[in-house]
């Protein structure tokens, strides 16, 4: 006779709610709490610990997935887009999904399996999407392809990953925390001029020089900038002492500091993960991984990414082999309300004739 498993009660906390991310059970398995999810979304927020797929209808319209086709999701993430594409296959064909994040890919594989999609129709591959040529050699070419270039909400919400300036945590920002330099290590190794270039090129930060000078000054004093809080507070101090900022109202000062924090963290994330270099490689290889009649859709989230995609698609459309979107497709106002992280999204598509 099997021994009955004892029920484990959740621990009690000193306050009404748990404070540490590791203790927040809903964030680790948000789909179990449907009422909470809908309540959060209805207020125009993204439930912590999960990712809401963006522009699903528009993507499916562009990709026009047919049962029996072979597809590639270059950025698996939480699996929202992947699930919708798998549903379109209606049990026939196959979808391959890539993710460079070794932590989240394992969670999403379980999530996809629990939704009823087995190995006969779905395969997750731990690799960077710059390697689509190698993936295609083994599994392609593909009838449809999606690349969502945004950072997954699960990464942003987890303090241990260091993606958000709003939450205290190690200044890391690596998509794959097992390889490469962390953001803290990167800052320690850059010169002032290199920092200025990074902040300007990656996020158009207007106070790039002042922030870079303060970082270098702090480092020379022996102060470590190795947490999200340390960097955020440094940026805020720099912004609030600028002459043009001092003239603003308190609310405007707070907003200016917030925007600079967001831009600097974005610039660091792009640099640490070589995002532009990865995108260059991906766009160069994209034409060769599509089957004749193959469709590709790319979601971008800031002007730097979109410029690269627009330029690449424009060059391809000059040939007789490709057709691409003339105008960018944007999310609806309703979607932007339900999911604020959709605001800056742009969708462009490409078809191999």
Q: What is the pLDDT at residue 318?
A: 92
Share of the chain above pLDDT 70, in %: 85
CATH of the domain at 247: 1.10.150
Residue 162 CA to residue 12 CA, distance in Å, equals 27
Residue 81 reports pLDDT greater than 80: yes
Distance CA(238)–CA(7), nearest Å, equals 52
**Percentage of residues in the chain having pLDDT higher than 90:** 69
Q: What angle do CA 54, 40, 301 make, to 5 degrees?
A: 25
Total number of domains in the chain: 2
Asked whether residue 337 falls in the same domain as residue 189, the answer is no
- Inter-residue contact 340 to 46 (CB < 8 Å): yes
Q: Is residue 50 part of a domain?
A: no
pLDDT, residue 328, reads 94
Identify the domain boundary among 237, 272, 307. 272
Q: Which of 246, 272, 298 is the last residue of a domain?
A: 272
CA distances from 282 to 21, 53, 155, 236, 351 (A): 34, 21, 22, 36, 16
Confidence of residue 302 (pLDDT cuts 50, 70, 90): confident
Does 258 share its domain with 287?
A: no
Q: How confident is the model at residue 304 (pLDDT cuts 50, 70, 90)?
A: confident
For the stretch 201-256, pLDDT in tens is 999 999 999 999 999 999 999 999 999 999 999 999 999 999 999 999 999 999 99
Assess contact for 35 and 118: CB atoms under 8 A: no
pLDDT given at position 65 = 98
CA–CA dist 282, 133 (Å, integer)? 9
Say if 10 falls within a structural domain: no
**What CATH number did the domain enclosing 327 receive?**
3.40.50.150
Q: Do 114 and 253 share a domain, yes or no?
A: no
Q: Is the pTM of this model over 0.95?
A: no
* Tens digits of residue pLDDT in 25-74: 455 455 555 555 455 545 545 555 556 889 999 999 999 999 999 999 99
Buried-state track 176-190, b at ≥16 Cβ within 10 A, e below 16: ebeeeebbbebbeeb
CA distances from 290 to 14, 120, 133, 204, 283 (A): 56, 21, 10, 34, 12
Strand partners, 227: 170
Which range among 155-159, 194-198, 327-331 shows the weakest confidence by mean pLDDT? 155-159
Looking at the fold, whether 244 and 99 belong to one and the same domain comes out as: no
Q: Assign 3-state DSSP to the chain and report helix, strand, coil percentages, each to 5.
A: 50, 15, 35
Same domain flag for 69 and 139:
yes
* pLDDT at residue 68, as a whole number: 97
Separation CA 45–CA 164 (nearest Å): 16
Average pLDDT, the chain: 87
Predicted pLDDT of residue 303: 85
My answer on whether 70 and 139 are in the same domain is yes
290-300, strands of its sheet edge to edge: 122-126, 94-99, 70-73, 142-148, 290-300, 346-352, 322-324
Predicted confidence (pLDDT) at residue 1 exceeds the cutoff of 90:
no
Cα-based distances in Å from 244 to 178, 255, 256: 42, 14, 11
Summarised one tens digit per residue, pLDDT across range 172-190 is 999 888 889 999 999 999 9
* Nearest to 122, CA basis, from 80, 73, 75: 73
pLDDT tens-digit series, residues 309-344: 999 999 999 999 999 998 999 999 999 888 888 888
Nearest to 264 by CA among 242, 238, 293, 244: 238
pLDDT in tens, 112-148: 999 999 999 999 999 999 999 999 999 999 999 999 9
């Amino acid at each position: 006779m099997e021994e009955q498993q004892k029920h484990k009660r959740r621990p009690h906390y000193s306050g009404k709610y748990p404070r540490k991310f590791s203790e927040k059970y809903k964030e680790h398995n948000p789909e179990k709490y449907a009422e909470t999810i809908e309540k959060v979304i209805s207020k125009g927020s993204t439930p912590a610990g999960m990712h809401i797929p963006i522009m699903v209808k528009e993507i499916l319209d562009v990709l026009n997935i047919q049962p029996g086709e072979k597809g590639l999701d270059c950025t698996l993430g939480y699996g929202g887009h992947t699930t919708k594409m798998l549903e379109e296959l209606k049990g026939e064909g196959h979808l391959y999904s890539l993710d460079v994040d070794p932590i989240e890919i394992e969670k999403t594989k379980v999530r996809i399996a629990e939704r009823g999609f087995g190995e006969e129709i779905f395969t997750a591959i731990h690799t960077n999407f710059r390697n689509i040529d190698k993936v295609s050699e083994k599994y392609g070419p593909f009838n449809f392809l999606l690349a969502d270039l945004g950072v997954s909400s699960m990464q942003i919400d987890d303090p241990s990953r260091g993606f958000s300036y709003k939450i205290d945590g190690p200044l890391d920002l690596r998509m794959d925390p097992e390889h490469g330099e962390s953001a803290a290590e990167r800052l320690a190794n850059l010169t002032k001029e290199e920092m200025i270039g990074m902040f300007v090129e990656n996020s158009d930060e207007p106070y790039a020089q002042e922030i870079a000078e303060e970082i270098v000054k702090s480092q020379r004093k022996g102060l470590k900038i190795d947490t999200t809080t340390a960097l955020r507070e440094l940026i805020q101090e720099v912004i609030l002492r600028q002459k043009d900022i001092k003239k603003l109202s308190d609310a405007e000062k707070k907003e200016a500091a917030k925007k600079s924090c967001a831009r600097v963290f974005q610039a660091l994330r792009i640099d640490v993960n070589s995002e532009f270099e990865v995108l260059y490689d991906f766009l160069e290889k994209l034409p060769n991984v599509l089957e004749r009649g193959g469709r590709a859709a790319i979601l971008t989230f800031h002007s730097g990414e979109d410029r690269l995609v627009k330029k690449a698609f424009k060059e391809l459309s000059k040939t007789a082999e490709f057709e691409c979107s003339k105008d960018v497709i944007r999310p609806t106002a309703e979607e932007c309300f339900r999911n604020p992280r959709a605001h800056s999204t742009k969708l462009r598509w490409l078809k191999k004739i």
